[in-house]
Amino acid sequence: MSSKEYPINYFKEAFQLPINLVILTIMFFVFVGSIILNSFLPNLLEFELPIQAILSISVGLELMLIGLVAQYPEFQKNVNKKYISQRNIYNQELAIAEILTKLSKDSLKKFIRFYQRKDQLLQKSIDSGASTEGILTIIKENTDKLTKAYAQHLLMNELYNHQLSQTDIHKIQNELSDIEKEILISDGKKKSLLQQRGELLKKRIHKISSLREELAVSELQLKTIEDTLEYLHENSLTKSNINDFINTIDEIYTETESYQDALVEIQNLV
């Protein structure tokens, strides 16, 4: 979603500024007041206010003010940040929705509980004044990152468990043990083939052991994400601690993203 495809209308953003809406309200009352005064002034002072001139000057000043604000670099920088945050939120929600289509009912139940807790955190943030402090979008963007990480680990755990359930490692280990014994009493082509099969079984055992380790790490990370959300829920988020909040989420999210190669690999195996 680039700025070329969706150009930012800085003029519109400037128009929607709260201070500008206040100015427009004042202008409206001045205009209405001028009309009312004109119904009395001719009788009292024998002249009328130039309503059209007042309206033209007011509109001109308003457009000039909006134009100046729209061109101000710091204003454009803040607007760009807002749009980037909105795009990030949209992309996170899209990625989460895609993952949810692949989860089982049990994993979906876990995800729904987590999502409801996240919504409670957002509501608590609103109640504590996060929206007035201007950090609600930051909280939303980062809790969505945490939610995506949670959904990814739910999917990874399912795929790991599915793959591990397809193979009996003890059976493979017993087969390898039998082959190693047979290699000792074999020679020639038979011994060579047995050695080849033995190497393949060793690779399978190593792969299964690696999957088990990755599953254990993923399950631990899932618990860590749940604990993180609870910690954030127990501690109010303000401008003073928002950086700690962002760093905590980024650390978890970055570590989860590093598992994407493993996620793709295990999906290909299933």
Tens-place pLDDT, residues 228-252? 888 888 876 666 677 777 787 888 8
Token duo for residue 117: 């807790």
What domain range includes position 49? 10-103
Do 54 and 130 belong to one domain? no
- The structure tokens listed for 263 are 């996620």
- Shared domain for 231 and 130, answered yes or no, is yes
Q: Read off the pLDDT of residues 8-53 as tens digits, 9 standing for 90 and up.
A: 666 676 666 667 677 777 777 776 777 776 666 655 555 565 666 6
> Residue 224: pLDDT above 60?
yes
Closest by CA position to 132, among listed 10, 246, 238: 238
pLDDT band at 174 (very low <50, low <70, confident <90, very high): very high
Q: Is 58 among the domain residues?
A: yes
68 domain-assigned:
yes
Q: Is residue 165 part of a domain?
A: yes
Residues 140 and 86 in one domain: no
Tell me whether residue 109 is in a domain: no
Clarify whether residues 25 and 92 are in a common domain. yes
Quick one: 78 and 192 in the same domain? no
Residues 71 and 162 reside in one and the same domain = no
Please identify, among 53, 72, 103, the residue that sits at the C-terminal boundary of a domain: 103
Predicted local confidence at residue 2, as pLDDT: 38
Q: Please check whether residues 83 and 206 belong to one and the same domain.
A: no
- Residue 110, in any domain of the structure: no
Specify whether 260 is located in the same domain as 135: yes
Instruction: Print burial letters for 147-160: b (CB count within 10 Å at least 16), e (below 16).
Output: bbbbbbbbbbbbbb
State the total domains in the chain.
2
Q: Name the more confident of 78 and 110.
A: 110
82, 149: one domain: no
CA torsion angle for 159, 147, 80, 65 (degrees, to 10)?
150
Cβ 146 vs Cβ 225: under 8 Å = yes
* 56/87 same-domain check: yes
Mean pLDDT of the chain: 76
Q: Predicted confidence band at 199 (pLDDT cuts at 50, 70, 90)?
A: very high
- pLDDT score, position 1: 39
Residue where a domain stops, chosen among 103, 134, 164: 103
Average pLDDT of 256-266?
63
Residue 82: exposure state from Cβ atoms within 10 A (0-12, 13-18, ≥19): middle
Predicted pLDDT of residue 104: 85
Residue 4 covered by a domain: no
The total of other beta-carbon atoms located within 10 Å of residue 175's CB is: 16
User: Residue 87 has what pLDDT?
Assistant: 63
Does residue 115 belong to any structural domain of this protein?
no
Whether 4 has a pLDDT exceeding 50, the answer reads no
Q: Which residue has the higher pLDDT, 66 or 204?
A: 204
Q: Which of 37, 70, 103 is the last residue of a domain?
A: 103
Residues 126 and 93 reside in one and the same domain: no
Q: What is the mean pLDDT of residues 171-182?
A: 90
Same domain membership, residue 146 and residue 32? no
Gap between the terminal Cα atoms of the chain: 33
Determine if the pTM surpasses 0.75.
no
